[in-house]
């Protein structure tokens, strides 16, 4: 009943056209969020390039190179990339005026994100203390841990967006917050593509 009432109120807002003030503030919010993601990208890039430099320099690098569980990481990657798809479907269903489908897809995204974090914890347990020191250990745990923290933050972010949508904060024509949440989640996916490539494939 609660979902039905929310969906009904959402459809009532579906015909509402964005006013000029909303359009102007939307552009400012998007620009601010993009600047935040650029700064985050710079942070990740600095650690990634430092790792690649140290790896190619060979200084203090483990003989023969460390071997990680590629199969476990690949499964975990599929889970995270799947969450990117579900988040896309969530936003698309909101655009088309379906709160129920939106809620289902975003809940699935949150579950998959939590599944990815669980897989990361399993990998840390599996690795144990074999690489908890030295250049590789510092790079691996710093970058994957920092990414995991972003996933955790993203789960909280999406949960807040879902609650806000259920409370009627967004209409089907005014949903900038949902768009930014989707962009953030795709950003997390892209960063993992890079990390998976440099740690497991190179």
| Residue 182 scores a pLDDT above 60 | yes
DSSP 133: S
Q: Which CATH superfamily is domain 2-201 in?
A: Cytochrome c oxidase, subunit III, four-helix bundle (1.20.120.80)
- Name the percent of the chain lying above pLDDT 90: 61
Of the CA atoms within 13 Å of residue 54, those in its CB half-sphere come to 18
pLDDT tens column, 116-171? 999 999 988 887 656 556 778 888 899 999 999 999 999 999 999 999 999 999 98
C-alpha distances in angstroms, 121 versus 109, 134, 141, 145?
Answer: 19, 20, 11, 10
Question: What is the pLDDT averaged over residues 79-95?
Answer: 97
Region at 61 (left for phi over 0; alpha for psi -120 to 50; beta for the rest): beta
Between residues 185 and 19, the one the model is more confident about: 185
Of 35, 67, 74, whose CA–CA distance to 140 is shortest?
A: 67
| Residue 1 scores a pLDDT above 60 | no
What are the two backbone dihedrals, phi and then psi, of residue 158, each rounded to the nearest 5 degrees?
Answer: -65, -35
| Residue 5 scores a pLDDT above 90 | no
Residues 6+ apart with CB under 8 A from 112: 79, 80, 82, 83, 86
pLDDT tens column, 31-86? 999 999 999 999 999 999 998 988 887 665 555 555 788 999 999 999 999 999 99
**Cα-to-chain-centroid distance, residue 174:** 22
Of 80, 91, 90, whose CA–CA distance to 179 is shortest?
A: 91
Spans of all domains in the chain: 2-201
Write down the pLDDT at residue 131.
56
């Amino acid at each position: 009943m609660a979902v039905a009432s929310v969906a009904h109120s959402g459809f009532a807002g579906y015909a509402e056209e964005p006013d000029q003030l909303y359009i102007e503030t939307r552009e400012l919010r998007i620009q601010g969020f993009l600047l935040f993601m650029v700064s985050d990208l710079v942070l990740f890039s600095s650690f990634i390039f430092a790792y690649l430099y140290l790896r190619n320099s060979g200084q203090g690098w483990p003989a023969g190179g460390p071997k990680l569980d590629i199969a476990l990481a690949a499964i975990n990657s599929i889970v995270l990339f799947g969450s990117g798809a579900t988040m896309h479907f969530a936003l698309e269903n909101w655009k088309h005026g379906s709160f129920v489908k939106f809620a289902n897809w975003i809940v699935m995204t949150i579950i998959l994100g939590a599944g990815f974090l669980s897989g990361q914890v399993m990998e840390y347990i599996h690795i144990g203390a074999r690489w908890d020191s030295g250049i590789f250990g510092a790079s691996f745990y710093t970058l994957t841990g920092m990414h995991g923290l972003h996933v955790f933050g993203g789960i909280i972010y999406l949960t807040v967006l879902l609650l806000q949508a259920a409370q009627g904060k967004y209409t089907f024509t005014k949903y900038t917050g949902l768009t930014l949440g989707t962009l953030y989640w795709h950003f997390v996916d892209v960063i993992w593509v890079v990390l998976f490539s440099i740690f497991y494939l190179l």
